[in-house]
Structure 1
Amino acid sequence: MSALRTQISAPAEAHAWPFVATGSSVADARLGGGLARGALHELYAEEGHHAGAAGFALLVSLCGDAAKPLIWVREDKGERGDGRLHAPGLAELGADPARIILVTGRDALSVLRAAAEIVGCGAVGAVVIEPWGKAPALDLTASRRLALAAARSGVLTLVLRAGATPSPSAATTRWRVGAAPSGPLAANAPGRPTFDISLLRHRSGIAGFDARVEWDRDARSFRDAAPHRVDVGTPLPGRVFAPAAVRTVAEFGRRAA
């Protein structure tokens, strides 16, 4: 009975849940393996990069338990303002749309109430919570409730914020996320989805840092973004390509004038 009382009274944070790798060698080394499951993480979108931050949240969630569903909880305003998740686009990123369950609420309070119930369910792989705008209902108390529920269930919990200023919360980590230029593939084909991520705050006091990662849909994982390379093609035998003309911005301005 004494051992049972000790187990029940132990703080939820004491559970050693596994990590979800960010794919950045720098980030994963400093974080001890990546984003901790069973924890609350905040993702703040760079101005004008809401879609990029949403894509990153989705792809991080896919790195979790593939046998469990991903629940996305958002406000009705987000549905109307930013559009719905697009199933063909999800499939193009390597996601199974059938695994994703979308839940909408009429306001931030209803979203947070639903999210707290969902996060506490261990049958869920990951939860993305997307309140609209500043969402004053998402205060320190509400974030603490989500963090405790995640610690008990082991569910990776991400709060996606756009158009909001960071405020005190119980989140384990806080990030700024935006889309980044991707390096071209062979024959100058469009590159992989690439993101700039910056650690703004860590509950354990880890110093902030910046990283750039890209998504490999075949491996279903992130990795350090490759340096940009431009494939100009292989010259055909017996042919010589004329060098490309290079003009400065000033020269283009004079020509336009």
Structure 2
Amino acid sequence: MSGDRTTMLAHLRGSIERVETHSDTYAPDRVPLGHAEADAALKGGLARGALHEVFCEGRQSAAATGFIAGLARRISPDRPLLWIRQDFAERETGALAMSGWNELGLDPRGLVTVRAPDVETALCTTADALACDALGGVVLESFGESRQFDLVASRKLTLAARGSGVTALLLRVAAMPTASTAETRWIVRSAHSPPGNAWQVWGAPMLDAQLVRNRHGPNGQWIMEWKSDECVFREATYAQPVPATAAHRPPAAAAHAQRRAG
């Protein structure tokens, strides 16, 4: 029994070493998002069969959910998407609305949701799901900080995604980024709609998407529109960035804002 365990550990160490040693020569299949500047930074588009992370503040969960749903649609439009949600995430942000899913141009029939009681179960379920190459992608959504999302867990998900070719998408709400083997890491917020009356400016969802980690290219920040009819990201016709909240500004700016408020 001990011999089998030693062999398994040696195999896992070898796989991890190959991920880390050959990451620069790894050439995954890529799918364009449709946003020219973002696709250029991504060397042609988002990598399939890889791990990608999306972070957001708690109040920005709807924007990040729409963004990650759009990524999943671009990656694999013809295969089912498995969305694994930590129970606490659903209590904090609400259930996924199929009416909203449909308004984004996505087919609710291709979405399968799984509720996990805790982070450990969610991670194990995600790793198991990534082994199923019938899926187009697997989303793991969690809320808040969690020590379970460490480098070891990230490596396991990366290996599983590469082994099957199924893309892993992590949605981390109200959490801070930590070390990982993710191909990309995004921070997403909603962006301003064009000025005018609500009935006049109603249109494509506007997203402030910041690429803060890109293993094979530069980082960047863009105001994107999600075109529901085409299911593609485009350059925003009205690109007005959203000011950072006091908690996310540099310390001097935050202190100045606090003094003015007082």
Question: Normalized against structure 1, the TM-score is what?
Answer: 0.79
Contact 2:72 2:137 (8 Å CA) reproduced? yes
Question: Alignment identity in percent?
Answer: 40
Q: C-alpha displacement at 1:93, in angstroms? A: 1.0
| Aligned counterparts, 1:206-225, within 5 A | 206-225=217-236
Contact 1:39 1:171 (8 Å CA) reproduced? yes
Matching residue of 1:104:
115
Matching residue of 1:177:
188
Matching residue of 2:212:
200
Structure with bigger helix share is 2
Larger Cα Rg: Structure 1 or Structure 2?
1
Structure 1 residues 47 and 107, CA, compared in 2 at 3 Å: closer, same or farther?
A: closer
Q: Deviations over 1:180-221 (max 9, x none)?
A: 123479x824020111111111224x3321111111111111
Q: Deviations over 1:133-161 (max 9, x none)?
A: 11211110001000111111111211001
Paired AA for residue 193 in structure 2: S
Is residue 160 of structure 2 the alignment partner of residue 149 of structure 1?
A: yes
In 2, Cα distance between equivalents of 1:103 and 1:43: 19
**2:90 is paired with a residue of what secondary structure?**
helix
Contact 1:23 1:213 (8 Å CA) reproduced? no
Q: C-alpha displacement at 1:46, in angstroms? A: 3.8
Picking from 119, 132, 135, the partner of 2:146 is 135
Which segment drifts farther, 125-134 or 109-118? 125-134
Aligned length: 221
Structure 1 residues 131 and 46, CA, compared in 2 at 3 Å: closer, same or farther?
A: closer
Paired AA for residue 208 in structure 2: D
In 1, Cα distance between equivalents of 2:58 and 2:201: 28
Question: Normalized against structure 2, the TM-score is what?
Answer: 0.77
In 2, Cα distance between equivalents of 1:209 and 1:66: 26
Structure 2 gap ranges (5+): 1-14, 240-262
Contact 1:183 1:191 (8 Å CA) reproduced? no
Matching residue of 2:45:
34
Superposition RMSD in Å: 2.5
